[in-house]
Amino acid sequence: MSNYVLITGGSRNIGGAIAKRLSEDGLRVVVVDRIQPEHEYAEKFIEVDLADAIATENKIIEFTATHSVLRLVNNAGIVMPSAIEDTELDSIEKVVSINLTAPILCAKAVIPAMKKAGIGRIVNISSRAALGKEMRTVYSMTKAGLHGLTKTWALELGRHGITVNAVGPGPIRTSLFEEVNPPDDPRTKSIIERVPVGRLGTPDDVANAVSFFASEKSGFVTGQVLYICGGMTIGSV
């Protein structure tokens, strides 16, 4: 099985942790992002704005024309929160382009090599917001859509030895989370109190789950959504 793994949005935070873990697993990490990786785990870097569908497709096709990629982690995503009545068309288009269109384009590019090899792993990074969250109309829509893609691709591609699964993080302590939720803010404390295990998750918690789904050991697991949420999702589905 080829050791290349394509990770979108793999330059930092959760994506950076995934890059680190998969590199430690012996994989050759290829980061696809608009910013340079803030770590040393990327063997190759594809610089592209994933909101630009044409540029994304061209860059990924160019790379896969000369490299066999049998693992894909669709990690990139943006939120752009707003109340439904304040949601604007440009924000809808941008969130959809990064959260849904880019994963489709990346999958299209790597699937031929996976089919030829008779094995492949696709991991989509979703969110608990797929179950519904205030001020997240478009984000929730796209993450729920990613669940649909995961299950549909699992059905289509299973006969070729390709598994497709999703990881849905709950509250994860990243720089973005801390910007919006300062440690001493009452709202932050309220979030932690709702987590059964009593703490926020870490990017490594997410990366550990991705590591399993990306491994050859996960060959009989496909079409699943695994929430990395410390138990917050219990009672929500």
Q: Using DSSP bridges, classify how beta strands 4-8 and 69-74 pair: parallel, antiparallel or unpaired.
A: parallel
Say how many C-beta atoms besides its own lie within 10 A of residue 35's C-beta: 12
**DSSP codes joined into one string, 139-185:** HHHHHHHHHHHHHHHHHHHGGGTEEEEEEEE-SB--HHHHHHS-TT-
Q: What is the pLDDT of residue 237?
A: 55
Q: What is the pLDDT of residue 236?
A: 61
Active-site position among 4, 41, 139, 227? 139
**Token pair for residue 198?**
């009593």
Q: Helices (DSSP H) in the chain: which residue ranges?
A: 13-24, 53-64, 89-96, 102-117, 137-157, 175-180, 186-193, 203-214
Give the CA-trace dihedral at 28, 30, 36, 38, to 10 degrees. Answer: -40
Annotation marks residue 139 as catalytic: yes
Sign of the CA dihedral running 70, 131, 19, 213: negative
Q: What is the pLDDT of residue 153?
A: 99
Size of the chain, expressed as the number of residues it contains: 237
Buried b (16+ CB within 10 A) or exposed e, 130-150: bbeeeebbbbbbbbebbbebb
Question: Cα–Cα distances in Å, from 206 out to 47, 63, 105, 172?
Answer: 24, 27, 23, 9
How far apart, in whole angstroms, are the C-alpha atoms of residue 202 and residue 197?
13
| Residues of the chain with confidence (pLDDT) below 50 | none
Longest CA–CA span in the chain (Å) reads 53
Residue-range domains of the chain with CATH: 4-228 (3.40.50.720)
